Amino acid sequence: MGRKKEPLVLRVPGQVGIYVCGVTVYDYCHIGHARVMVVFDVVVRYLRASGLHVTYVRNFTDIDDKIIQRASALDLPVQVLTEQFINAFHEDMQALGVARADVEPKATEHLAEMQGMIHTLLEKGLAYPGGGDIFYAVERFPAYGQLSGKNVADLQAGSRVEVDGHKNNPLDFVLWKRAKAGEPQWPSPWGAGRPGWHIECSAMGCKYLGDSFDIHGGGMDLLFPHHENEIAQTEGSTGRPWVRYWLHNGFVNVLNEGGEREKMSKSLGNFFTIRDLLSQYPGEVVRLFILSSHYRSPLDFSQELLEAAGHGMDRLYSALSGAKKRLQSLPDALEVLPEQALLGGWGDDVESFLAAMDDDFNTPQAIAALFEMAKKINRSAVSDAEATEADALGQGVGLLRHLAALLGLLGDDPDHYFHRQAAQDMPSAEIEQLIQKRDAARLARDFQAADAIRQQLLEAGIVLQDSKEGTTWRRG
RNA sequence: GGCCGGGUGGCGAAGUGGCCUAACGCGGAGGUCUGCAAAACCUUUAUUUCGUGGGUUCAAAUCCCACCCCGGCCUCCA
CA-to-C1' span, A381 to B34 (A): 16
**What was the pLDDT predicted at A2?**
47
CA-to-C1' span, A56 to B66 (A): 46
Q: Is the peptide bond before A225 cis (omega within 30 degrees of 0)?
A: yes
Rounded to whole angstroms, the Cα distance separating A44 from A61 reads 21
In this structure, are residues A136 and A229 in contact, taking their beta carbons and an 8 Å threshold?
Answer: yes
Residue at shortest CA–C1' distance from B39: A465
pLDDT beneath 70: ranges in chain A:
1-3, 156-164, 255-261, 265-269, 339-344, 382-388, 421-424
**What was the pLDDT predicted at A330?**
93
Query: What are the strands, taking DSSP E only, across A182-234?
Result: 193-195, 213-219
Q: In the complex, which nucleotide's C1' lies nearest to the CA atom of residue A308?
A: B26
Residue at shortest CA–C1' distance from B42: A379
| DSSP reduced 3-state for A340 | helix
Task: For residue A41, count other CB atoms closer than 10 A to its CB.
Answer: 24
Residue at shortest CA–C1' distance from B11: A305
For the beta sheet containing A133-136, the strands, ordered from the edge strand earlier in sequence to the opposite edge, are A127-130, A133-136, A173-178, A193-195
Rounded to whole angstroms, the Cα distance separating A306 from A314 reads 12
Angle A243-A245-A250 from CA coordinates, rounded to 5° = 120
Largest alpha-carbon pair distance within chain A?
A: 91
**What was the pLDDT predicted at A152?**
77
**What was the pLDDT predicted at A452?**
96
Rounded to whole angstroms, the Cα distance separating A50 from A194 reads 41
Name the packing angle between helices A390-406 and A363-383 (round to 10°): 160
In this structure, are residues A193 and A185 in contact, taking their beta carbons and an 8 Å threshold?
Answer: yes
The answer, as to whether pTM is greater than 0.90, is yes
ipTM of the complex, rounded to two decimals:
0.95
Q: What are phi and psi of A422, to 5 degrees?
A: -60, -35
Q: Which residues contact A470 (CB under 8 A, 6 or more apart)?
A: none
Rounded to whole angstroms, the Cα distance separating A318 from A324 reads 10
